[in-house]
Amino acid sequence: MNWVARLYLWATHRLYDEFAWAYDLVSWLVSFGQWASRREVALDHVIGQRVLEVGFGTGELLIAMARRNLHVYGLERSLAMQQIATNKMKRRGVWVPRVLGVVQEMPFADGCFDSIIATFPAEYILDPATLYEVARLLRSPNPATARRGGRFIVVGMGLSTNSALLRRALRLIFGTPAESTYAKYEQIATAAGLCVTVISQKGKCLSVPVVVSEKRNS
């Protein structure tokens, strides 16, 4: 990993801990004001009513889902983010049950969620333990009723562009081309019992694909 990618990871981790208070502003600035709309694309792919968001950050998407009357839960490892989300929910008159924990060991029962969401995830997304936990928590398909399996919806796992200059910049920042990230993710997800579909979301300069992974029959 080059020094630019290491610096990016360091800065990302700081935004989830001691600089969590600046997360919303930084996200808005680096996305040219498009962060919220990019994040909420995930909601277009939600199935069912029972939804878990992992790595929910400052809680914006949790609030949006609660206002849609979804039965939503959140999991976040950062105590600073948990506190910011709590304060934000109090101000807006919304409450969502949340758990302090890591994605690799989630304290929920097998098959209890219809959909699980992660937006702009950190490196945990390529940890096999993450995908096995996700598969465990998603509902199983039921061929007798034609009910499909639960979905893991990931937005912003990688960024794509047709610009050669931007591709070089993204390679410096993330260290790995988006195509390689998707291929590695699909390999891990398939082993965990998930069927992966990458849905392109075109922007003016960057494409922020949505990766939908559906639970298969075991």
* Residue-wise pLDDT tens digits, 106-137: 999 999 999 999 998 888 999 999 999 999 99
| Model confidence band, residue 5 (pLDDT cutoffs 50, 70, 90) | very low
| Model confidence band, residue 11 (pLDDT cutoffs 50, 70, 90) | low
pLDDT for 51? 98
If you search the block for the tokens 């909601």, which residue do you land on? 43
User: How many domains does the chain fold into?
Assistant: 1
Range of the domain at 27: 3-215
- Choose among 125, 153, 152: nearest CA to 139: 152
Pick the range with the lowest mean pLDDT from 11-20, 43-52, 165-174: 165-174
Span 44-68, average pLDDT: 95
pLDDT for 147? 85
Span 79-93, average pLDDT: 94
CATH of the domain at 163: 3.40.50.150
Q: Is the pLDDT at 64 greater than 60, yes or no?
A: yes
- Per residue in 158-217, pLDDT (tens digit) is 655 555 555 554 454 555 656 778 889 999 999 999 999 988 766 555 667 899 999 997
The CA-based angle 78-79-80, given to 5 degrees, is 90
pLDDT for 6? 56
Tell me the two tokens of residue 207: 């494409």
pLDDT for 37? 64
Task: Give the global pTM.
Answer: 0.82
Which residue blocks in 2-152 are alpha helix, DSSP H?
3-15, 23-30, 35-40, 60-67, 79-92, 128-137
Q: Is the pLDDT at 140 greater than 90, yes or no?
A: yes
Q: Is the pLDDT at 86 greater than 90, yes or no?
A: yes
Tell me the two tokens of residue 202: 């075109």
Is pLDDT larger for residue 177 or for residue 67? 67
- Per residue in 146-172, pLDDT (tens digit) is 889 999 999 987 655 555 555 554 454
Average pLDDT, the chain: 81
